[in-house]
Structure 1
Amino acid sequence: MLLLGIDIGTSSVKVCVVDAENQSIVASAQFPDQESPILSLRTGWAEQSPDMWWQQTQQAIGLCHKKGGYNPKNIAAIGIAYQMHGLVLVDKEQKILRNSIIWCDSRGVEIGEKAFADIGTEACLSHMLNSPGNFTASKLAWVKQNEPEIYKQIDKIMLPGDYIAMKLTGEITTSASALSEGIFFDFQFNGLSKDITDYFGFSDQLFPTVKPVFSAHGRVTAPVASQLELTAGIPVTYKAGDQPNNALSLNVLKPGEVAATAGTSGVIYGVSDQLAYDPQSRVNTFAHVNYSNDRKRLGVLLCINGTGSLYRWVKNTFGGSLTYQQMNAEAAKAPLGSDGLRILPFGNGAERMLNNKQIGAHLQNIDLNLHTPAHIFRAAQEGIACAFRYGLDIMRENGMHPTVIRAGKTNMFLSDLFAQTFVDATGIPVELYNNDGSLGAALGAGIGAEIYSSQAEAFSKAERVGYIEPADTGAFEAVYQDWKSILEKHLEEV
């Protein structure tokens, strides 16, 4: 029996087909090869076309089929992971009304901060566990205020994964986890937040049917099945945001367990059984994939917008024809601390851990007679690791004290230098696994289709491929404190 996992990323769409019995990837593909564009019509804006995601999904599935080794008709269930917090709007004919306002778009910050004050900080934090901030609810409010003709046509609002499931099945659903990441969910009443809907004037009819994350979210229609060489009627049995899904793929499901990822954005995601929150909403708490009314499982999420996005910019600007692997090798030639060169990786929209401030990315202390591209490559990795440490200290303030962090050996963790720097910066060992978002989505589909008897069974064959312990935390602490002092000066100026 086979499972299909789809991961709707900011840069590309990845898919894989997994053998449910041995939990191994039979074939995988991604599309496109080059990173997808982000449309930025104004400073701080970020949009993508949902139709682009759907075209890329079809292309990626087709490429996966061409690799052979399996019969697509044996795929029994589909799971979807997706970039979080994006706003997708469709009319009654399920047609897109505008581009999606995606996760790193900052236009809703002022709207969200005003709502935070008007509804009341205590009411927001105790019920939604977050400020409305720059999340999906504030983006929808921006559309209502600034594009009223589009707003009038809305039949349903969705997150990116909901849209792809709709294209596959013709049905529109959501979950408590999805509503919580949009700041639409009231954890005290376990339902749609009346505070948010009343304040912004959102009709309850805009929201899809709520279902558990692991459940049937529709069945693939005959025309789509024919086009994708699938069996008509197979179910979509799992949908989750990329960070809860990354945690699932690393078997991070119990209170105290922690996952990390360093893709386009960087995230530390810890599981808790407490309805807790950061008083400043610098880290955010959402319903995890295994959240239920009687068994609270919350994901406490630290997000850094500019991790892989910074390293991509460094590659495009200073890397020339070098591959990422070659850049990593060059970075290792520079000394720890990059001879004083410091980089702040905050040039990709408002940063929640910086109280939604936009300070931009910065290269500090450049010495034209000393610093080389190798220094820049290393300083970028060190700056990202320092940003993780800064955010982790906020999580520690809020009671999250991980003793080990699990991460996939992918994206920036493919760099041995970055992985060691991350560990030295945080002081916490890292376990590495071969995983990615599409694999997690596929195994999630197996859980939702009850192919596995338990969530634990779905990951029973996962093998650790690396373990990294702190090596030189004392030396790196001086680098971090210098980096932090530079950050604080920029924060005072905003």
Structure 2
Amino acid sequence: MYFIGYDLGSSSLKTALVDSETGETLTVIKTPAEELGIDAPRAGWAEQDPELWWRCICEGTRELLSDTGVAPEAISGIGIAYQMHGLVTLDAEGRSVRPAIIWCDSRAISIGDQTLEELGETRCQAQLLNVPGNFTASKLRWMQQEEPEAFQKTRTFLLPGDYIAYRFTGKPQTTASGLSEGILWDFQKGQPAHWLLEHWGMPDALVPEIVPTFGHQAEVSQAGARATGLKEGTPILYRAGDQPNNAFTLNVLEPGIVAATGGTSGVLYGITDSPEVKELQRFNHFLHVNHAPERLRIGQLLCINGAGSLYRWLKDQLNVSGYNQMNALAEAIPVGSDGLICFPFGNGAERMLKNKSIGACFSGLEFNRHHKGHLCRAALEGIAFAFRYGMELMEGSGVPFKTIRAGNDNLFQSNIFTTTLAALGQTPIELFEVTGAVGAARACMVEQLGLEETIKRAAGKDYLATVLPDKEDEAYQKAYLKWKTELQNNLN
């Protein structure tokens, strides 16, 4: 028997098949072959059609079953990981009212700021553990104010992973962890923040049914089975946002070890057992997948919107064969990129910069000195410098960095990126040959085995290598200091 895990990002869907007894990975496929597009009808907006996600699910599932020869009856459960903070709204017939407003959309920043002013920082800190910011709740409020007709048609809201589960089952559901990532969870009361919806004049009925993160949530309907090729009645056993899921996948469940990703965005995700928060403005706090009322586990997340998105943009401009060629060009350039500096902040407002949109740029470019290799190295260093800047903010808020764990994909496949980050933080980086889709599939094991036994069976399967900090890191520190100084000048 087998489990299927999905990891829905903003650029692609990954679908994994694992053995339901051992957690062994059989295959992982990516859909579509090219990266998904993001629509930007206005500056600072970012939207995707939820139907496009569902088409990827259907295509990916059928391809996986066809390639492996596994019968639909052999699939014992489904796990779903998804891009966080998005907003999908459904009407009375269960159709999406408008395109999904996704994580890197900046339109609701002013609404979050206004709501913070109305509610007060003390209440937000005590009950939401976050400021409203530019998250799902604020996007819903934007829709209420700016698209009142569409809002009036809305009967419920969902996060992107909730929408995928809904298309499978026909049941609009979410999780407490999901509501916390949307800034719609009251941490003091342990329930949805009904008072926030009331503050905005929104009905409680908008909140979908809440199901546990792990365990039997719903079953694939006849329509879901017909569309995907799965068997009707196959259970949904897990769902979580991509960053909590990535942490679970890497066995980051306790304080001290930090999970990192370097995809379209860059993320650092640590764990705390304290409900006290020191920093509200720059990073966020969500219920982690293993949180329980009697055993607090809160994820602290810092996001860098402009990370892999910068490297992808650069690839499209340089007329190169792909990322491997870019990495090879960069390897020929010394640390510091011969004075060329890159700021990767071109993918919307950066929360760690207090929601400022300063844009991406190259600084110090000399036409007679710098070429493609310098651009590639400066981009990789600039992203690594942004990670280190975020680490310093989190360290200042009490998050320890004993070890960083990451999947061996995207930016972490670049030797320059990983060695730069390890050197700057003097922190070892453990790399694992695993994806979030595999983690989502393995999470299905928890219902029968429990969390501890599931982690035990998966431990050691995916370990690849450890990147140790360079002891002679003066060149890295010098380049980073130059970058940070210029960043501060730009922010001021």
TM-score over 0.5 for the pair: yes
What amino acid is aligned across from residue 96 of structure 2 in structure 1?
I
Q: Counterpart of 2:10?
A: 10
1:136-151 matched pairs, under 5 angstroms = 136-151=136-151
1:392-471 matched pairs, under 5 angstroms = 392-448=391-447, 450=449, 454-471=453-470
Q: Counterpart of 1:367?
A: 366
Q: Counterpart of 1:57?
A: 57
Once the two structures are overlaid, the 10-residue window that deviates more, 133-142 or 421-430, is: 421-430
- Cα deviation for residue 69 of structure 1 reads 4.7
Once the two structures are overlaid, the 10-residue window that deviates more, 16-25 or 139-148, is: 16-25
Q: Counterpart of 2:247?
A: 247
Q: Counterpart of 1:221?
A: 221
Q: State the TM-score, normalized to the length of structure 2.
A: 0.97
Q: Counterpart of 2:201?
A: 201
- Cα deviation for residue 248 of structure 1 reads 0.5
- Cα deviation for residue 266 of structure 1 reads 0.3
Q: Counterpart of 2:291?
A: 291
State whether residues 20 and 76 of structure 2, in contact with CA within 8 Å, keep that contact through their aligned partners in structure 1: no
State whether residues 447 and 458 of structure 1, in contact with CA within 8 Å, keep that contact through their aligned partners in structure 2: no
What amino acid is aligned across from residue 5 of structure 2 in structure 1?
G
Q: Counterpart of 2:382?
A: 383
What amino acid is aligned across from residue 37 of structure 1 in structure 2?
G
Once the two structures are overlaid, the 10-residue window that deviates more, 275-284 or 106-115, is: 275-284
State whether residues 452 and 458 of structure 1, in contact with CA within 8 Å, keep that contact through their aligned partners in structure 2: no
Q: Counterpart of 2:125?
A: 125
State whether residues 61 and 229 of structure 2, in contact with CA within 8 Å, keep that contact through their aligned partners in structure 1: no
1:133-172 matched pairs, under 5 angstroms = 133-172=133-172
Q: Deviations over 1:89-122 (max 9, x none)?
A: 0012111100000000000000001111110011
- Cα deviation for residue 301 of structure 1 reads 0.4
CA–CA separation in structure 1 for the residues paired with 2:473 and 2:115:
41
CA–CA separation in structure 2 for the residues paired with 1:124 and 1:455:
35
Q: Deviations over 1:422-448 (max 9, x none)?
A: 211222110011111110110112214
1:336-375 matched pairs, under 5 angstroms = 336-375=335-374
- Cα deviation for residue 461 of structure 1 reads 4.5
Q: Counterpart of 1:324?
A: 323
Q: State the TM-score, normalized to the length of structure 1.
A: 0.97
- Cα deviation for residue 26 of structure 1 reads 1.4
- Cα deviation for residue 370 of structure 1 reads 0.5
3-state SS, counterpart of residue 269 of structure 2: strand
State whether residues 23 and 457 of structure 2, in contact with CA within 8 Å, keep that contact through their aligned partners in structure 1: yes
- Cα deviation for residue 278 of structure 1 reads 3.8
3-state SS, counterpart of residue 29 of structure 1: strand
- Cα deviation for residue 295 of structure 1 reads 1.4
- Cα deviation for residue 486 of structure 1 reads 1.2
- Cα deviation for residue 281 of structure 1 reads 2.0
Q: Deviations over 1:429-475 (max 9, x none)?
A: 10011111110110112214558774423523534211011114322
Q: Counterpart of 1:212?
A: 212
Q: Counterpart of 1:48?
A: 48
Once the two structures are overlaid, the 10-residue window that deviates more, 444-453 or 425-434, is: 444-453
Q: Counterpart of 1:482?
A: 482
CA–CA separation in structure 2 for the residues paired with 1:169 and 1:298:
29
Q: Counterpart of 1:37?
A: 37
What amino acid is aligned across from residue 485 of structure 2 in structure 1?
S
CA–CA separation in structure 2 for the residues paired with 1:199 and 1:227:
40
3-state SS, counterpart of residue 94 of structure 2: coil
What amino acid is aligned across from residue 401 of structure 1 in structure 2?
P
What amino acid is aligned across from residue 290 of structure 1 in structure 2?
N
Paired residues in the alignment total 491
- Cα deviation for residue 226 of structure 1 reads 3.6
3-state SS, counterpart of residue 125 of structure 1: helix
State whether residues 277 and 284 of structure 1, in contact with CA within 8 Å, keep that contact through their aligned partners in structure 2: no
What amino acid is aligned across from residue 29 of structure 2 in structure 1?
A
3-state SS, counterpart of residue 293 of structure 2: coil
CA–CA separation in structure 2 for the residues paired with 1:68 and 1:178:
32
- Cα deviation for residue 24 of structure 1 reads 2.0
Percent identity, aligned pairs only, is 43
CA–CA separation in structure 2 for the residues paired with 1:317 and 1:187:
45
Once the two structures are overlaid, the 10-residue window that deviates more, 253-262 or 162-171, is: 253-262
What amino acid is aligned across from residue 332 of structure 1 in structure 2?
E
Once the two structures are overlaid, the 10-residue window that deviates more, 352-361 or 280-289, is: 280-289
* Closer/same/farther in 2, CA of residues 162 and 438 from structure 1, 3 Å limit: same
What amino acid is aligned across from residue 490 of structure 2 in structure 1?
H
What amino acid is aligned across from residue 197 of structure 1 in structure 2?
L
State whether residues 57 and 228 of structure 2, in contact with CA within 8 Å, keep that contact through their aligned partners in structure 1: no
What amino acid is aligned across from residue 348 of structure 1 in structure 2?
N
Once the two structures are overlaid, the 10-residue window that deviates more, 412-421 or 78-87, is: 412-421
1:307-318 matched pairs, under 5 angstroms = 307-318=307-318
CA–CA separation in structure 2 for the residues paired with 1:231 and 1:457:
30
Provide structure 2 residue ranges, at least 5 long, that are not aligned to the other structure.
none
Once the two structures are overlaid, the 10-residue window that deviates more, 42-51 or 27-36, is: 27-36
Q: Deviations over 1:51-84 (max 9, x none)?
A: 0100111111122122125333211000000000
* Closer/same/farther in 2, CA of residues 458 and 86 from structure 1, 3 Å limit: farther
CA–CA separation in structure 1 for the residues paired with 2:353 and 2:234:
44
3-state SS, counterpart of residue 345 of structure 1: strand
CA–CA separation in structure 1 for the residues paired with 2:398 and 2:203:
36
What amino acid is aligned across from residue 440 of structure 1 in structure 2?
G
Once the two structures are overlaid, the 10-residue window that deviates more, 283-292 or 58-67, is: 58-67
3-state SS, counterpart of residue 366 of structure 1: coil
